[in-house]
Amino acid sequence: MTSRRPPSVKYLKTETGNPKPEAQVSILLPFYHKNFEHEIRESLFSICQQTLRSFEVVIIIDGPLPQKLRYCVTEALDNAYRNRSDIRWKIIWISVNRGLANALNDGLKHCSRDYVARFDADDHSVAHRLTQQLSSARHLNLDLMSCDVREKGNTSRREHTVRQCARSLEAARKMLWWKSPLNHPSTLFRKNLILLAGGFDASVPYHEDYLLWGRLLSKRDLRYKGSSQLLVAMHVDSATLARRGGLRYAYWACQARLILWREGHLKTWELLAGLTVSVLFRCLPSRLRQFITSNSLRSQLKQHMAKSSS
């Protein structure tokens, strides 16, 4: 069995305590060397605070970690084991950093449940996220779902913005030409659906999720729903927005759209419009892009809450 595994991956399944009831859903959570200690502690804390009982957590550690961060991961996991004995923990160590897409694909193979929820190390999920999403997915027999996310950052301005997702399959298809219609850290999906689509595409950096959603949204029988509920707080600061700009990022954004166009997921006019918007927007000065993002491309938290309650 060992010979069939990639040599760069060390597989370590860790389960503690008495025999556990069958897990209802799998959480897919990657860590790597650029994560901060407080992020890892907060992400594991939000998992332990989930009101859903009996689920599985698959953690992929993508490459070697600095000694201090490795100690933090070990300590945080020890605390998590003690706090939630009903959770099944699977830890996958990858000896060489292979990038997010490859790490997610490795972890997905170890998810044992039909439904998989994506969590990120620098994001925080509200306590009822799994309960709410799994209930909706089962009731509506969904294949894929997402929700709006609250963006949190280092400035008060970013504390009050909401990144919305497409509400329906039709809306998601219409949105694809210019942006990702789903918020990746908030998604819940069927494992086999992702595997049949080829998994996360590692050929275009920063766009593994955009390519995957584009391929899935072309399926006529796909059952998708987006929610206005704010179930995830996503860390986005000025440094994050700066990384999403420049010629290099614009190049990869164009490459991702070209791939979807060649595969028939985008129309020619959508490709041309998407290329134009990507190049112009990504090459704007960082502060101008941040201003446009905060004031035009995001809704304000107060407005979002008012619409949700009405």
Is 81 in contact with 16 (CB distance < 8 Å)? yes
- Residue 297 token pair: 């491309």
What pLDDT sits at residue 17? 44
List, in order of start, the domains of the chain with CATH numbers: 2-235 (3.90.550.10)
- 3-state SS string for the chain: CHHHCCCCEEEECCCCCCCCCCCCCEEEEEEECCCCHHHHHHHHHHHHCCCCCCCEEEEEEECCCCHHHHHHHHHHHHHHHHHCCCCEEEEEEECCCCCHHHHHHHHHHCCCCCEEEECCCCEEECCCHHHHHHHHHHHHCCCEEEEEEEEECCCCHHHHEEECCCCCHHHHHHHCCCCCCCCHHHCEEEHHHHHHCCCCCCCCCCCHHHHHHHHHHCCCCCCEEEEEEEEEEEECCHHHHHHCCCHHHHHHHHHHHHHHHHCCCCCHHHHHHHHHHHHHHHCCCHHHHHHHHHHCCCEEHHHHHHHHHC
Is 193 in contact with 272 (CB distance < 8 Å)? no
- Residue 54 token pair: 């009996």
Per-residue pLDDT tens digits of the chain, which is 310 residues long: 333 444 344 444 444 444 556 779 999 999 999 998 998 999 999 999 999 999 999 999 999 999 999 999 999 999 888 888 889 999 999 999 999 999 999 999 999 999 999 999 989 999 999 999 999 999 999 999 999 999 886 554 445 689 999 999 999 999 999 999 999 999 999 999 999 999 999 999 999 999 999 999 999 899 999 999 999 998 876 667 667 788 899 999 999 999 999 999 999 999 999 999 999 988 888 888 777 776 665 555 455 544 555 5
What pLDDT sits at residue 152? 80
- Residue 209 token pair: 């999720």
What pLDDT sits at residue 154? 56
| Cα distance between residue 286 and residue 241, in whole Å | 7
- Residue 279 token pair: 């190049």
Q: Is the dihedral of CA 83, 87, 99, 159 positive or negative?
A: negative
What pLDDT sits at residue 151? 86
What pLDDT sits at residue 4? 40
Please give the angle made by the CA atoms of 29, 30 and 31, to the nearest 5 degrees: 125
